[in-house]
A and B are shown apart, each in its own frame.
Chain A
Amino acid sequence: MDRLYFIQLLDELQKVMCENREYLIDLDRVVGDGDLGLTMSDGFLAAYHAVKDSPETDIGKMLYTAGKAMSTAVPSTMGTLMASGLMQTGKVLKGKTEIEHEDIATFFMAYEEGVMTRGKAKVGEKTFLDGLDPAVEAMKASFAAGETLSVVADKAVNAAQEGYENTATMLAVHGRAATRGEASRSLKDPGAAVALLMMRAFQKTV
């Protein structure tokens, strides 16, 4: 696989975010300021458009460019976090023109690392990471067990789904939800919903 795989992945990401724009707005309106759907659809669309016709063969450079385009398009808190994830994948995959299946796990691990470093959040704090981290772990285990890419993707989606549901048991420590304390515990985190949508996009590329 080469850079075309990641262009396809970015395309699926922007599609899933655009299709779920209203869903994300409604989720976010309850705990945040309601602009998550716009941020995610505008952001991933900008990332995809920045590289879809790019002649860049270095996968890392291409992904970094996509991340920068996202950061410029949507400089809100969540937009910058997602852009940071994408830029980190670029740094990690820099110099590669070909990838193996396992590099998809590397991509999502780097994405998680980028978001975590920027946001200074940990797993268990009711954020995007609580959807993405279980999916990344499931992906790594599935690759290690030598399973097919479609099994890897199914397991990642299921783990993200479970992670998203689990955020209803967590106390928020970041963002507006945190100011409401216990009152927001039973609400699921919209960021974790974004992670679940990302896994659905990954599943579509398989």
Chain B
Amino acid sequence: MKKLINKPENYVTEMLEGLYLAHPDLITYTENDLHCLVSVNKKEGKVGIATGGGSGHLPLFLGYVGKGLLDGCSVGDVFQSPSAEQMLAVTKEIDSGAGVLYIYGNYNGDIFNFDMATEMADFEENIRVESVVAGEDVASAGPSAPGERNSRRGVAGIVFVFKCAGAAANAMLDLDNVKRVAQKAADNVRTMGVALTPCTVPRVGKPGFEIAADEMEIGMGIHGETGIRRGKIETADEIAVEMLDKIVNDLPYNKGDEVAVLINGLGATTLDEQYIVTRKVDEYLKDKGIKVHHYYVGEYVTSLEMAGLSISLLKLDEELKQYLDAPAQTPFFVQL
């Protein structure tokens, strides 16, 4: 393991300490627990939005708390859910009477704890909480039938859900409508990733999986979950086309549709490489007659120091476009 750290067991707390020191104008924590992060900017009567999950994915989740986006967030150890108690602490702090919406990724540990926090908020605090669970990794499972539980993992596309819901809440929509907007974004986003190298959880000290120097794994999850194909590494263009075929045919995204695109680095892949892929994505979508409204390129949801990237598409309508374009300011996301 080669990391710029002190003691592995202090990895998360020391990261959090640095984060608060760097952004005192935007974020703080509640109940004396560094893992319970809240925005310093409060807007009375606004629906509160909280997220949470394991550490190791910065700028997810902490980086999206601030103006026009999320109001709070709890994080656990690397790749581990925070506790329901920590989620409840954040919920209490960000509720201003209009209720709270949880937006989080489709993982059992997170679901169980957010469900428990929802019950605690209702039972102990009389706060109304609703949830939208993001699961859009097309490589992780097939599409779910109507009424069936979505079994896809939540990955980078959740950032689009945050952004649309955050802007809707900022526009003072009520809880049901903020949830509706979040759900619409979640329903219209699809993602797929590729991994080139593994990542190492600090307290484990060894890579989570092995992959040969000349290999890639298409469809791998952001905690190293098995993908759909492992093979010799190919060119950026070939990899982009393989992923886009799967994404575009899944929703599907059709000729004439308008989309936002997120090209997301997983931690160790250069921006140069991300822009090389962006160029091919643009060519591919133009060829299909799909119009790109906006590109987001960079690290939005990482997997420690994993190399690789993911591509996400969000199909837009006028409402989602308006919320996506609205201004926001957080430690990692600034849009004027």
**B108 and A175 form a contact (CB under 8 A):** yes
Chain B residues with Cβ under 8 A from A179's Cβ?
226
Instruction: Tell yes or no: A83 within 8 A of B by CB.
Output: yes
Contact of B84 among A71, A76, A174 (CB under 8 A): A71
A84 at the interface (CB under 8 A from B): yes
- For residue A72, CB closer than 8 A to chain B, the reply is yes
From 79 to 115 in chain A, residues with beta carbon under 8 angstroms from any chain B beta carbon are: 80-81, 83-84, 87
Query: Is A83 a contact of B116 with CB atoms below 8 Å?
Result: yes
Q: Which residues of B contact A87 (CB under 8 A)?
A: 116
* Per-residue contact bits, chain B 98-138, to A (CB 8 Å; 1 contact, 0 not): 00000000001100110110001000000000000000000
Number of interface residues of A (CB under 8 A): 18
Mark A146-172 against chain B: 1 for CB-CB distance below 8 A, else 0.
000000000000000000000000000
Q: Does A124 interact with chain B (Cβ within 8 Å)? A: no
Residues of A at the B interface (CB closer than 8 Å) are 68, 71-73, 75-77, 80-81, 83-84, 87, 118-120, 174-175, 179
**Closest A residue to B109 using CB positions:** A77
How far apart sit A81 and B80, CA to CA, in the bound complex (Å)? 15
Chain B residues within 8 Å of A, Cβ to Cβ: 76, 80-86, 108-109, 112-113, 115-116, 120, 149, 226
Query: With A80-B116, A118-B116 in contact, do A75 and B226 touch (Cβ < 8 Å)?
Result: no
List of B residues within 8 angstroms of A118 by Cβ: 112, 115-116
Interface of A is mostly: helix
Contacts of A76 in B (CB 8 A): 80-81, 109
Q: Which residue of B lies closest to A174 (CB)?
A: B108
Which of A71, A73, A120 is within 8 Å of B116, CB to CB? A71
Ordered by A's residue number, 27 sampled pairs between the chains whose C-beta atoms are within 8 Å are A68-B120, A71-B84, A71-B85, A71-B116, A72-B83, A72-B85, A75-B76, A75-B80, A75-B84, A75-B109, A75-B113, A76-B80, A76-B109, A77-B81, A80-B81, A80-B84, A80-B109, A80-B113, A80-B116, A83-B116, A84-B116, A87-B116, A118-B115, A119-B108, A120-B149, A174-B108, A179-B226
Extra contacts, 19 of them, besides A71-B113, A76-B80, A118-B112 (Cβ < 8 A), are: A68-B85, A71-B116, A72-B84, A73-B83, A75-B80, A75-B82, A75-B83, A77-B81, A77-B108, A77-B112, A80-B81, A80-B84, A80-B109, A80-B116, A81-B112, A87-B116, A119-B112, A174-B108, A179-B226
> Contacts of A68 on B, CB cut-off 8 Å?
85, 120
The smallest C-beta distance from B104 to any residue of chain A, in angstroms, reads 13
Give Cα A75 to B308, complex, Å: 29
Distance, CA A118 to CA B116, complexed state (A): 8
Nearest A residue (CB) for B114: A80
B116 neighbours in A (Cβ, 8 Å): 71, 80, 83-84, 87, 118
Please indicate the chain A residues that have their CB under 8 angstroms from the CB of B76 in the complex: 75
In the complex, the answer to whether A71 meets B83 with C-beta atoms within 8 Å is yes
